[in-house]
Amino acid sequence: MKDPERTKAAILKAAFQEVHRKGFHAASLGDILSRTALTKGALYHHFPNKDALGHALLDAIEQKIVERWLTPLQGKPDPVSALCEVISDAVNGLTVEEVELGCPLNNLAQEMSSLDEVFRIRVADVYSTWRDGIAAALADGQKRGTVAADIDPLNAAAFILASLAGCRGLAKNAKSSQLLRSCQRELTRYVQTLRG
């Protein structure tokens, strides 16, 4: 019956789905709780307020990003190929629904950045670790000679992130995973230009 771990996880899962679908503002606590069998009391016990729930969401998102993007890149001798593969996996692993709902992190970034400074910084931190991880892989490649020496790893990494977010955003608006794939292909073309 009483399993706080499961309860908290259930709330977070429901919150993630609801926020992913409707955005943070439009996702009401009532709707989130309707997805679970829980009530306000349970939520209020685990989170002081809605914002804290949003922050916890970001923690989970950051964790997933590290798993799927940064870990696979570590220690690879040819970062360009590795990057293209990770991007390809990330894009092809998306369900139709995930394509149509867009990137959870970017959704939060666009919605909240100009509304809540705490939120904005929290999101920016996640983007930083993401970008730094890619940049580190590129810099490593530069040492090995597999990445062009004249590019700036940080700028390139930032652009890759930005493009990716933009591609998913465009595909979300168009409800077209075909468009997403087209954009991915163009992004891959760019990544290839980083090769040494």
Measured CA to CA, the distance from residue 136 to residue 2 in angstroms comes to: 44
Under rule CB under 7 A, which residues in 168-187 are in contact with DNA?
Answer: none
Pair 164, 87: CB distance under 8 Å: yes
44 contributes a contact to a copy of itself by CB under 8 A: no
x-marked contacts with a copy of itself along 48-87 as a string, rule CB under 8 A? ----------------------------------------
Least distance (Å) between residue 110 CB and DNA: 18
- For 143, residues 6+ apart whose C-beta sits below 8 A from its C-beta are none
| 161 lies in the binding site for a copy of itself (CB under 8 A) | yes
For 69, the token pair is: 């993007």
Distances from the Cα of 154 to the Cαs of 44, 135, 164, in angstroms? 41, 5, 15
**Which region among 10-18, 72-80, 81-89, 173-181 touches a copy of itself (by CB under 8 A)?**
173-181
Contact between 29 and DNA (CB under 7 A)?
yes
Helices (H), the chain: 4-22, 29-35, 40-46, 50-65, 79-92, 96-101, 104-112, 117-144, 153-174, 177-192
- Kindly give, in sequence order, each residue whose CB lies less than 8 Å from that of residue 18, ignoring residues fewer than 6 positions away: 27, 31, 32, 35
Q: Which of 35, 38, 55, 151 binds DNA (CB under 7 A)?
A: 38
Residue ranges binding a copy of itself (CB under 8 A): 21-23, 25-26, 100-102, 106-107, 109-111, 113-115, 120, 123-124, 127, 152, 154-156, 158-159, 161-167, 169-170, 172-175, 179, 182-183, 185-187, 189-190, 193
Residue ranges binding DNA (CB under 7 A): 1-4, 6-8, 27-31, 37-42, 44-46, 48-51
